[in-house]
Structure 1
Amino acid sequence: MRLPRFPRASVRVKATIGAVAVVALALGIACAALLTVTRHGLTDSAERTAKARAEAVAAAAAKGKLVERLAVPDGEDSLLQVVTDDGRILAASENLTGRGPVAGFVPSSDSGAAARTVRVTSAAADGGAAASPYRLVAVRGTESGRPVTVYAGTSLRTAEYTARLIRDAMVPGIPLLLALVAAVTWRNTARALRPVEAIRAEVAEITERDLGRRVPVPASRDEVARLSTTMNDTLDRLEESMDRQRRFVADASHELRNPIAALRAHVEVAIAHPQLLHGDELLSDVVRVQQLADDLLLLARLDAGDRPDHTLVALGGLAKATVERRAGDRVPVTLDVSGDAPVLGSRTRLTRVLDNLLDNAQRHARSRITVTVTAGVLEVTDDGSGIPAAEREHVFTRFTRLDESRSRDAGGTGLGLAIARDIASAHGGTLRAEEPREGSYGGPEGEGPSGGARIVLRLPTASVSTALQA
């Protein structure tokens, strides 16, 4: 049975209609099954009774004790008749006296009896006639050497009456039961959906300026409670994202203010006193603004889920090309490649990660920077002042500088490590500031923050990456 669909109806209406339809279907099946079982049971009982009587009459006929008027139990509506193969009536019960053969079917040669349900008009007790259903059984026998057929029938009026009684008792009650089911379902659905309505109303009142509100969580541990918890978790993430976006916009505005102000000052000086214009300073401010704008644009793309085409990239070869390109940096870079399993990623983005790590190391290193590459791992270490353990996660926050005493030109924009981590995450990897290896640069500086910084990039190798993407 295919239930009707109501695409524009409410959940309450759909649940109520569905419950009523299912209960109506179940009641219909149950009623039909009960009537069928009852009818078959009573019919089988009547057939067994009729067969026993037919066999008794056939046995009497075979012994030569057949009487013309066959007796049936008092008060019972039954039929008995003995018919020869040529249609003559040898014996019959009182209600078939003067009647022709009650039926024409006979058992097959390999069966002892045959049964049919027939309607027979017999003499009624009040002298009239009535057509009644009977379960009629035919049994083959002999009488004085002649083959005969004995018919015995048991009335099925009791079976019909019982079936009618069941039908008359159940059918009027079905609408009342369905109405009760509809009322209970309507009420229970309203009660079940009350928390959902409260959640909807609360969410409808939440705006971007009021993200601190949360939906109520029911005390029950059902699906609605889990929905509320999930909704609150989503609101937590949304609030955190909005706060991060606000801080990002505020920090970006703050970072742009100084170079733009310097550019304005240089332009004003150039307009008023062209002979005092310093091209190098103006170019430096322009480069700084351009670099900051590029960083902000890249972060926006990463936040939007931008994923460039990935190819097989050898970290060792990438590191070698990057170090050679930066041969003129303040601090020389030592490269150590001991394993070069390829990774699946964007060569341009991964080069950006290494450039940002080297830029950070160049700002803090005293005299040495080392790039170490093993299978799927790239480390950048320096002999600078190091990163305190409590700040090793904070350094990856956007616009973060640990040494506020540095000038902004020397200290960078505070976006390099944040960009590097976002790129690593987009490649399914991690970027962390970890404890320097003991004795990295010898002496007491090989321990703790004074031992320099150690930033480790870990990426899944090409075999693992390919399996994950497949």
Structure 2
Amino acid sequence: MTPASLRTRWRVRSLRFRIVAVTAAAATLAIVLALGAYLLTLRTILDNTATTAATDQAGRVAAQLADRPGDPSSVLQAVSAQGSILQLLDGAGRVISYSDSAGATQPLAGLRPAAGQVQSAQVDGVPTDEHEPYVVVARGLRPSEGPPGGTLLVATPVQNETVLIEGASIALGLLALLLFGGLLWLINRVLSSALGRVERIRSSVAEIGATRSDLRVPVPSGDDEITHLAETMNAMLDRLHEADAAQRAFVSDASHELRSPLTAIRMIADTSAGGIDADGTRVVRAEALRLQHLVDDLLTLAKIDDTAAVRPHVEVDLDDLLIDEARRLRATGTLRVEAQIEAARLEGDPVQLARVVRNLVDNASRHARTAVRLGCAATADGSVTVTVDNDGEPVPLDRREAIFDRFTRLQDSRDRDTGGSGLGLAIVRALVESYGGTVVTTETPEGRCRFEVRIPG
């Protein structure tokens, strides 16, 4: 099987399988390393203990040999060996004395340290006992302790230590297997609980469709990450439900607004078999212009909603935009136009900012009785405030927020049929908020209707 196919099979495994497999591999490696380190440490301690005991015994025997020169055999045989085998070798390496007949034939080890020095080694057996491990300590004898160049050998059996290590290995291995199985069982239970809750969330989301957008995922008890995931998912579904409802309402309102001019144009066309007269032409032109304005407003809102759209940022004089609107209003209307405009500049898209001012002024002119007042000023923190007042009735308190919704018009505007689509103020709010600003409707101290825009610098 190729490495690519192995990677493919690994990716298609379930998340639970992959977590358990990785955990099992990591736990196995950790247990093997821990057991190996423990057993190595235990063996080292036991071997060092045996070596130290044999070294001490060799020192005591060497001292007795120095006290009783000429009689090494009696010294070695009188020593309480406690299972150890002692040998005394001459300078040529021949056995000249021993504590046990097991050491009478040949040297226990090939160690030959210098006088006063000690060497040690672990051997798998001695000549008379080749199946039992021993620790052999060799001490080089001084002239006062034995024959010139002589060596004292002490062989201590470590069979008990070996059995202890083997027993500890088996016991620890069984305990490790038990702990390993318990660990995998616990991890599997935890994963089953956690991933089971995630699966219930996933299946609930899969059941939510366009016709059941009011469904929500179950929120498990507790205060862990999965609970937070379910709460976040429900919050997202709430936002999507609201956005879907807003989109459906928008499409319904747009269809309603488009139906009226299209119906008027079709009626004129159906009733003018011999050609459209001058009055019909004026109506068709007015309705076509209304359609154009409505489509332009819809396209503007669509561009504003496109958060990925890049807009130019240049220095824009808002006071100049207000002055231009004051001139236009004076030239095209019968209203009295008042202006209290100060120099104010900020960075932005001049087309969008001009659209904000134009929509506010057009709205004020439709609802004004005799006068419109425009104001602009820069604040100390660098923000710019624009006010557009008219001497009509202020917007009712219960309508001051809804007036900025799409296709929302006050009843008097509908009655007078001023031609507004109900999108102008919605465009104003969307544009202003895209700059991080705010727009509100309120009233002046004199009781005039006021729209106030504040955009940070």
Q: TM-score, normalised by structure 1?
A: 0.82
Mapped contact 1:19–1:181 kept (Cα < 8 A): no
Q: Does 1:346 align with 2:354?
A: no
After superposition, what is the alpha-carbon deviation per residue over 1:395-415, rounded to whole angstroms, capped at 9, x for unaligned?
211111123454474251111
Equivalent residue, structure 2, for 1:452: 449
Do the aligned residues in 2 keep the contact of 1:357 with 1:417 (CA within 8 Å)?
yes
1:456 CA displacement: 1.5
Q: Return closer, same or farther for 1:310/1:156 CA change in 2, 3 Å cut-off.
A: farther
Deviations 1:80-107 (A, max 9, x none): 3344554344543323222136223537
Partner residue in 1 for 2:198: 196
Local SS of the residue matching 1:326: helix
Within the candidate set 376, 392, 397, 2:400 is matched to 392
Number of the residue aligned with 2:110: 103
In structure 1, C-alpha distance between the alignment counterparts of 2:276 and 2:144, rounded to whole Å: 149
CA-atom RMSD, angstroms?
Answer: 3.1
The one of 429, 446, 450 equivalent to 1:421 is 429
- Does the residue aligned with 1:267 lie in a helix, a strand or coil? helix
Question: Which stretch shifts more, 129-138 or 210-219?
Answer: 129-138
CA contact (8 A) 1:381 1:453 kept: yes
TM-score, structure 2 normalization: 0.84
Which runs of no fewer than 5 residues in structure 1 stay unpaired? 124-128, 440-445, 462-470
Query: 2:87 is matched with which residue?
Result: 81
1:239 aligned partner: 241
Find the partner of 2:213 among 211, 214, 239: 211
Which amino acid is 2:87 matched to? Q
Q: Residues of 1 paired with 2:454 and 2:228: CA distance?
A: 37
- Could you tell me how far 1:22 is from its partner in structure 2? 3.5
Query: What's the offset of the Cα at 1:131?
Result: 4.0
In the other structure, the counterpart of 1:369 is 373
Return closer, same or farther for 1:88/1:305 CA change in 2, 3 Å cut-off: same
| Structure 1 residue 306 displacement after superposition | 3.9
Q: Deviations over 1:431-466 (max 9, x none)?
A: 2215445x3xxxxxx2xxx3321322323x3xxxxx
C-alpha separation in 1, matches of 2:156 and 2:338 = 111
Following TM superposition, by how much is the alpha carbon of 1:236 offset from its aligned partner in structure 2, in angstroms? Answer: 0.8
Q: Which runs of no fewer than 5 residues in structure 2 stay unpaired?
A: 1-6
Greater shift after overlay, 95-104 or 291-300? 95-104
Instruction: Decide whether the 8 Å contact of 2:394 with 2:442 is kept in 1.
Output: no
Tell whether the 8 Å contact from 1:320 to 1:335 is kept in structure 2 after alignment.
no
- C-alpha spacing 1:434/1:287, structure 2 compared with 1 (3 Å): closer
Change in Cα spacing, 1:30 to 1:334, as seen in structure 2 (3 Å) is same
Structure 2 counterpart of 1:67 = 72
CA positional deviation for 1:51: 1.4
Give the Cα separation in 2 of the matches to 1:412 and 1:76.
Answer: 115
2:418 to 404, 410, 416: 410
Change in 2 beyond 3 A, CA 1:353/1:63: farther
In 2, the alpha carbon distance for the partners of 1:408 and 1:87 equals 131
Match of 2:4 in 1: none
Q: Of 92, 99, 102, which aligns to 1:93?
A: 99
Letter in structure 2 aligned against 1:360: N
Does the 8 Å contact 1:58/1:150 carry over to 2? yes
Alpha-carbon distance in 1 for matches of 2:286, 2:78: 125
Q: Superposition pairs for residues 10-409 of structure 1, below 5 Å?
A: 10-65=14-69, 67-68=72-73, 70-71=76-77, 76-94=82-100, 95-100=102-107, 102-104=109-111, 106=113, 113-123=118-128, 129-144=129-144, 146-172=148-174, 174-175=176-177, 177-316=179-318, 319=321, 322-323=324-325, 326=328, 328-330=331-333, 331=335, 332=337, 334=339, 336-340=341-345, 342-343=346-347, 345-365=348-368, 366-374=370-378, 375-384=382-391, 385-407=393-415, 409=417
Question: Is the contact made by 1:336 and 1:371 (CA closer than 8 Å) also made in structure 2?
Answer: yes
1:199/1:228 contact within 8 Å kept: yes
Whole-angstrom distance in 2 between the partners of 1:173 and 1:149: 46
Q: Alignment partner of 1:378: what SS?
A: strand
Q: Matches of 1:222 and 1:119 in 2, distance apart?
A: 59
Q: CA deviation at 1:208?
A: 0.8
Deviates more, 1:295-304 or 1:85-94: 85-94
Compared CA separation, residues 356 and 37, structure 1 to 2 (3 A): same
Deviations 1:343-362 (A, max 9, x none): 3x333222222222222222
2:20 is the alignment partner of 1:7: no
Q: What's the secondary structure of 1:274's corresponding residue?
A: coil
Pair 57,381 (structure 1): closer, same or farther in 2 beyond 3 Å: same
Q: Distance in 1 between matches of 2:320 and 2:21?
A: 66
State the distance in 1 between where 2:432 and 2:441 align: 16
Shift of the 86–320 alpha-carbon distance from structure 1 to 2, 3 Å rule, reads farther
Preserved CA contact (<8 Å) 2:319 2:376: no
Offset at 1:290? 0.8
**Segment drifting more, 376-385 vs 273-282:** 273-282
Which amino acid is the alignment partner of residue 354 of structure 1?
A: V
Matched residues, number: 437
User: What residue identity is the alignment partner of 1:372?
Assistant: C
CA distance in 1, matches of 2:57, 2:366: 115
Q: Secondary structure at the match of 1:169?
A: helix
Q: Which has the higher contact order (CA 8 A, sep 6+)?
A: 1
Q: Distance in 2 between matches of 1:221 and 1:72?
A: 77
Conservation of the 8 A alpha-carbon contact between 2:360 and 2:388: no
In 1, the alpha carbon distance for the partners of 2:194 and 2:130 equals 60
Distance in 1 separating the partners of 2:353 and 2:68: 113
For residue 311 of structure 2, give the secondary structure of its aligned residue in structure 1: coil
Distance (whole Å) between structure 2 residues aligned to residue 101 and residue 75 of structure 1:
15
